[in-house]
Structure 1
Amino acid sequence: MMRKIINDEDNVVQEMMEGYISAYSRYYRKHPEVNGVILKQRRKDKVALVIGGGSGHEPMFSGFVGKGLADAAACGNIFASPDPNTVYETAKAVDNGRGVLFVYGCYAGDNLNFDMGEEFLNDDGIRTAHVRVWDDVASAPRDRISDRRGIAGDVYVVKTAGAACDAGLDLEEVTRVAEKARDHTNTIGVATAPAQLPGVDKPIFELGEDEIEYGMGLHGERGVLRTKWQPADVLAEKMYDQIKEDTGLAEGDEVCVLVNGLGSTTITELAIVFRKVKELLDRDGVKVYDADLNNYCTSQEMGGFSITLFQLDEELKKYYDMPCWCPYYAKGELTGGSYVPVTEEEADKEARGAEAASAAAQDLAEPYVSRKREGTLMELTAEDAREMLIYIADKVIAKKPYLTEIDSAIGDGDHGIGMAGGMKKAKEKLLKMEGEENAYAIFEAAGKAMLMSMGGASGVIFGSLYLAGAKGAEPKASITPEDLAGMERKSLAAIQERGKAEVGDKTMVDALSPAVDAMEANSAKGLLEMLRAAEEAARQGVEDTKNYTAKFGRAKSLMERAIGYQDAGATSVWLIFQGMREFVEG
């Protein structure tokens, strides 16, 4: 087991954020309610730039909040996107009335959660736009460019977008410039050693002494190809040639080059790689306008590096040359004259709000909740539903190591952590709802608590499992088997509308869809028999995912290499239906 310098694995992000803000309190403040890093001295007469993604990639994303860069960063759990509430609250705190541009990597969880955060902002009358970075040329062919992942190219897109915002452009123009930067940025990476999540006993994947992962993602997931160890020059040339072929790089072009370390790779090694890349660019008549060797987009202690080429034209060069500064990244000379500082009164007010929120969280009691009614349940009263969802929450929390192990096989290992975190929040909410008389309100409250807290794709999807089918339903003191089946059918439809997944795509839908079919087919047999059928259908759906390649999430880049492994999301669905059946059976 790798030793990490942490205290409680559940508090890693919170304590990291406290330390980071404390170290750089001259420049930053933390949002009082969510994990948002906000620049204190920022211009107020411009489009606000908000970036974000999972923690664990430091200094990206929080370390790229600064003058001429982002105004704020919405930070999720380790390797998991921020939840919609974090996106919403962070952006709302820096909105100046001219709109908000979001820049983040193109991953399913980030796309879902930032989209929902935008919806909330739009409901408040705040204009938004987004640019998803998809610079990873290894993760999908160019004709499916929007399926590509965002990796170290984030650096150049954030830099350009921040400059365009500071130039005073309106939201439409800022978005156009940021999209142009994104479309001129291409990256490929290799991993020489795996990452390991805090509190997890095993690394996300294992490599032999003579193996490397080619085309790895930023979240520690496997690459698209496992190959033999090769010298730096051989790797650099192979990676450069793939970028050149993908982009049509030609003599006379001008580029910025970033050789980015993934966490444990030294500057010495990055310099050796750049030496070869520069030789190849000189050979092809491509001019290097600027170069950078650093660990900007990391993946915990993963070994390896990526090469990014940012192709310039005169417009992009203008924005690249504009000054910027943050503790981890700076370009040009920057005076502070045009920035309006936050007053001490505002800072004190925010600090008091944070202290109050922390105290309220510590007041939460954790009583043991058991089932009050004996025997097999024929229907679910509001109190039954509350107790059942608490039971399921405890069950999933206990299965965190199991879900982490499953997700680590073909993903980034964060599913168990995300599910446990979301279920804890649902349980906190449910413990306060004793006496609620509307059964649908119980499901809705639990789903919303998960959705607003989990981050990652799982937050939106699993929150919708409870929320979507119950939201807007006529209040009922108890729900029948037919009601529960109808509720889950609505949830399934909402999940598929949001995530676009179908049976066979190696997602939670592979377990949920057959489970819902089984509920409808067996609802007349009573609640227990219906849930037995649903549990078995979900279990078979999990088994079936072993035969599929992935169409969504981290595993989609593995293609056939994902066959033989079960999907973690589908496994969680099975556990939830198993929990329902166990509770009803008593």
Structure 2
Amino acid sequence: MSDVKTKKLINEPEDIVAEAIEGMVLAYPDMLSLEGATGRAVVALDGPRDGKVGLVTGGGSGHEPLFAGYVGRGLMDAAAVGNVFASPSPEHIMDAARAVDGGAGVMFLYGNYTGDVLNFDMAVEECRENGIEARSIAVNDDVASAPAESAEERRGVAGNFFVFKVAGAAAEEGRSLKDCEAAARNALSRTRSMGVALSACSLPQTGKLNFEIGHDEMEVGMGIHGEPGMRRGTLKKADDVADELIDTILNDIKLSQGDSVSVLVNGLGATGQLELFILYRRVAKRLKDIGVSIHKSWVGEYATSLEMAGASISLMKMDDDLKKLLDAPCQSPCLTVAGALAPRGKHTLRMAKAAADVATIDRSQLIGDGAVTPDVFRDAMLAVAQVITDKRDWLSELDGVIGDGDHGVTMDIGWSAVRDALADVGDETISQISNRMAKAFLDAVGASTGPLYSSAFKAAGAKVENRLNLDASAMVDWIDGICSGIVSRGGAKLGDKTMIDAWSPAVEQARQALNGGADLIACLDAACIGAKKGRDHTAELESKRGRSKKLGERSIGHVDPGAASAHVMLVAMKDSIKNTI
């Protein structure tokens, strides 16, 4: 991986999302507001209203104008804004949902990525706990990322554009939640996309390219997060590239003479309209040649990947209802369709944030045996946070090879939030500290890592809720809880090339050491050895989960970054405890 640093017009990397949101709201004061305690819910000023279905989208930053650029009248009512290339957390999403609930239900629309699915599913659960009917749709329009028979595994890319427009018009028209969902699913079922990348992008926090690509190469079927594509080939002329993309789409969507489509030719961040119009020219000719008419077309940047050079093509096969909804007026920062919009209606805030229950624990009833006191445990967790910060760029580089390059950044954000949360824990028990960590990590991160480690910390805390201090057995139970919590939330299993491939052997080795009479430090040593073996073994595996799954055999030969960070965490925890007790 090249050590050349990329250049960006930013201030401090940790402030980029908050400052971008602030700038966007200031730029469009007649359309947008910022709602909720998290500062991550961008809401349409005249979108939500009583009796109307509330529409919420969301996803990682770095795709602008996706997602918040589609917040406005006749489109999305709100967007939950995540960190760069990372899903918003459930609390970010709930701030948006609370702001748009009009009593007719809430519908979530987002790209089909593990982190987004996990976080939006948790938000759906919370809505229903509050008596709010909620539905969600994971947009999966990318034909390159899975075959037709596995369409549910496909990624969401620029086709979000069409689904958002149709759903927004249906809700604006006053349709029920059921009918809004039906319209959005109809649009999704008729939308296909595929793209090509000519260069990599770089995360603002690292300033390094996510992957390397030669000056005469292109990635065909790349992901919107900067993931490498399905294959790498020699750079071709624009017409040849357009033909490859459109041929793949046409083989999947099955158009016939007399059909009508709408077209989006989308730039990925560093491709100008000069090139995009050349691509559109070829797409229009190809469609004309097979007798397919174009109902509407858009050319420009609608779903980007930071500064990636490249483009994608999206087609939506039209029917009469889709034509009506696509033609309906709307107004947002990135998309306006001319036409009269009805006067703004009344909106009453309905869904209030529930107060958190504070549990009271009788410490006299807890088991006090063990050298790991709450203070020792807290110091160990702070040591983990520091090591994750130190290893951030290395973990992101590992992720850039087979993923989107943000794992180290995401882990650092989460553990930095944990560090802040542990600044004043008072006389909390290890179980309570673990729950505090779970909330801090989830609220700060989102992504797939947020729900997974939040569930891990909660499960680990539950394993030792009868303990004041941890001995060797309880320490192994806590590590076991980390592993079982991740599995219960994410469903990964040993051999899928995930963090479980480090956590599972760590538990196994630690348990074997414990059963053999090992003391606490020896059990932690065994856990570290197991995690390292598991981490190294992931290089031999083909990815079965997450974004790297799309790479197939191309993922072999590379260590899984989640497994690497698991080993880093265990070693830091062990070293801290060993140096303290």
- TM more than 0.5: yes
Contact 2:7 2:207 (C-alpha < 8 Å) held by counterparts: no
| 1:469 shift after superposition | 2.4
In structure 2, the partner of 1:408 is 400
The equivalences for 1:395-434 within 5 A come to 395-434=387-426
CA RMSD of aligned residues (A): 1.8
The equivalences for 1:400-549 within 5 A come to 400-436=392-428, 438-471=429-462, 474-523=465-514, 524-549=517-542
In structure 1, the partner of 2:553 is 560
Point out the more displaced range, 21-30 or 231-240: 21-30
Q: Does 1:171 align with 2:212?
A: no
| 1:332 shift after superposition | 3.2
| 1:378 shift after superposition | 5.1
Same amino acid, percent of matched pairs: 38
In structure 2, the partner of 1:105 is 111
For 2:560 and 2:56, the matched residues in 1 are separated by 32
Q: Does 1:65 align with 2:71?
A: yes
For 1:468 and 1:414, the matched residues in 2 are separated by 25
For 1:408 and 1:16, the matched residues in 2 are separated by 24
Give deviations 1:57-83, integer Å, cap 9, x for gaps.
001101000110000000100111001
Q: Does 1:6 align with 2:10?
A: yes
For 2:91 and 2:500, the matched residues in 1 are separated by 25
Moved over 6 A (4+): none
| 1:448 shift after superposition | 2.0
Give deviations 1:480-524, integer Å, cap 9, x for gaps.
222232233333223223212111111101101111112221224
Residue aligned with 2:192, SS: strand
In structure 2, the partner of 1:77 is 83
Residue identity matched to 1:88 = M
Point out the more displaced range, 308-317 or 71-80: 308-317
Residue identity matched to 2:490 = G
For 1:240 and 1:172, the matched residues in 2 are separated by 33
Residue identity matched to 1:159 = K
Residue identity matched to 1:21 = V
Residue identity matched to 2:16 = V
Contact 2:525 2:574 (C-alpha < 8 Å) held by counterparts: yes
For 2:254 and 2:489, the matched residues in 1 are separated by 35
In structure 2, the partner of 1:569 is 562
Residue identity matched to 1:178 = A
In structure 2, the partner of 1:150 is 156
Q: Does 1:260 align with 2:251?
A: no
Residue aligned with 1:104, SS: strand
For 2:269 and 2:88, the matched residues in 1 are separated by 21
For 1:85 and 1:56, the matched residues in 2 are separated by 20
For 1:32 and 1:149, the matched residues in 2 are separated by 29
Contact 1:41 1:340 (C-alpha < 8 Å) held by counterparts: no
Contact 2:85 2:404 (C-alpha < 8 Å) held by counterparts: yes
In structure 1, the partner of 2:27 is 23
2:244 to 238, 243, 248: 238
Contact 1:62 1:75 (C-alpha < 8 Å) held by counterparts: yes
Residue aligned with 2:145, SS: coil
Residue identity matched to 1:22 = L
Contact 1:53 1:82 (C-alpha < 8 Å) held by counterparts: yes
The equivalences for 1:42-441 within 5 A come to 42=47, 43-340=49-346, 379-436=371-428, 438-441=429-432
Contact 2:36 2:96 (C-alpha < 8 Å) held by counterparts: no
In structure 2, the partner of 1:580 is 573
| 1:472 shift after superposition | 7.8
- Scaled by the length of structure 1, the TM-score of the pair is 0.92
Contact 1:41 1:341 (C-alpha < 8 Å) held by counterparts: no
Residue aligned with 1:452, SS: helix
Change in CA separation of 1:321 and 1:387 when aligned onto 2, cut-off 3 Å: same
Contiguous gaps of at least 5 residues in structure 2:
350-368
Residue aligned with 2:422, SS: helix
Give deviations 1:328-361, integer Å, cap 9, x for gaps.
101231334144489xxx9xxxxxxxxxxxxxxx
Residue aligned with 2:143, SS: coil
For 2:211 and 2:325, the matched residues in 1 are separated by 39
For 1:529 and 1:262, the matched residues in 2 are separated by 51
For 2:183 and 2:164, the matched residues in 1 are separated by 11
For 2:284 and 2:19, the matched residues in 1 are separated by 40
Give deviations 1:247-276, integer Å, cap 9, x for gaps.
112212110000000001111111111111
For 1:295 and 1:197, the matched residues in 2 are separated by 19
| 1:464 shift after superposition | 2.2
For 1:432 and 1:146, the matched residues in 2 are separated by 44
Give deviations 1:290-342, integer Å, cap 9, x for gaps.
11101000011100100000011112222112111112101231334144489
| 1:15 shift after superposition | 0.8
For 1:562 and 1:472, the matched residues in 2 are separated by 35
- Scaled by the length of structure 2, the TM-score of the pair is 0.93
Residue identity matched to 1:453 = A
